[in-house]
Amino acid sequence: MSANKKALVTGGTRGIGRAIVKEFAADSDYSHIAFVYASSDERAKELVEELKPTGKEILPYKTDASSFEQVQQTVTDAVGKMGGLDVLVNNAGITRDNLLLRMSEQDFDDVIKVNLKSVFNFTKAVLRTMIKQRYGRIINISSVVGIIGNPGQANYVASKAGVIGFTKSLARELASRNITANAVAPGYISTDMTDKLTDEQRDALVKNIPLGRVGDPQDVAKVVRFLCSNAADYITGQVITVDGGLTM
């Protein structure tokens, strides 16, 4: 399968998600791209306007990714309007960092709901369509901290480690249907989340990165695009780290 692909990206208006939406829009294989966002209508409108010159159909959906019902409605509408769905990128994510001693139950629950349950919600919602057409590419955005851990992020790390386990089970379940599932684990990428770091914190991080720089959202988006291309047809159940060598 090549031309006329349809993709859906969650967390699509900022950072890595926005870069992924733009990467698909620049690819001649894609005709329709739906993206999901949680809050900013303004950012969503800006992205749609920015991508108008591509001539692709861009569909924005304001959806609570942690709500099973809302996700079902969004996917049903998107699949109906696009005439199918070939690619799902689960990228929605939040942080509520704190040492475990000070972390509230609410902060733990919110992060698990948005970062992990949303992956279940969207994947379950797209499966019938992908199984019926015997084709699908599912990419789940995890994080290197889901592999190595991080102090002050027990909730976030648990959610991202969960995404990796979910992806591997999914890959085994769906391989016979020509549906692949892979996880991408970014390291330190320049986004709204990492912009909160002080210069000192950033310098300390960069010292641990062999390539000597913080990553760019496009670094992740290019890997996602590759995993959804025909060149990656024989890759499933993998965790690809995009981290400048941080975790090697």
Q: In angstroms, rounded to a whole number, what is the distance separating the alpha carbons of residues 82 and 60?
A: 12
Which one from 37, 61, 156, 188 is the annotated catalytic residue? 156
* 226: pLDDT strictly greater than 90: yes
Average pLDDT over residues 66-84: 97
Q: Tell me the residue type at 73.
A: Q
Rg of the chain over all Cα atoms, to the nearest angstrom? 17
Eight-class DSSP state of 176: G
Tens-place pLDDT, residues 119-139: 999 999 999 999 999 999 999
65-74, 159-168, 184-193: the lowest-pLDDT one: 184-193
Position 12 pLDDT exceeds 80? yes
Length of the chain: 248
In angstroms, the CA 136 to CA 207 distance is: 39
Q: Are 160 and 106 in contact (CB under 8 A)?
A: no
Q: How does DSSP assign 92-152, residue by residue?
A: --------TTT--HHHHHHHHIIIIIHHHHHHHHHHHHHHHHT-EEEEEE--THHHH--TT
**pLDDT tens-digit map of 184-199:** 999 999 877 667 778 8
Q: Clarify whether 61 is annotated catalytic.
A: no
**DSSP structure class, residue 195:** G
Give the pLDDT band of residue 213 (cuts 50, 70, 90).
very high
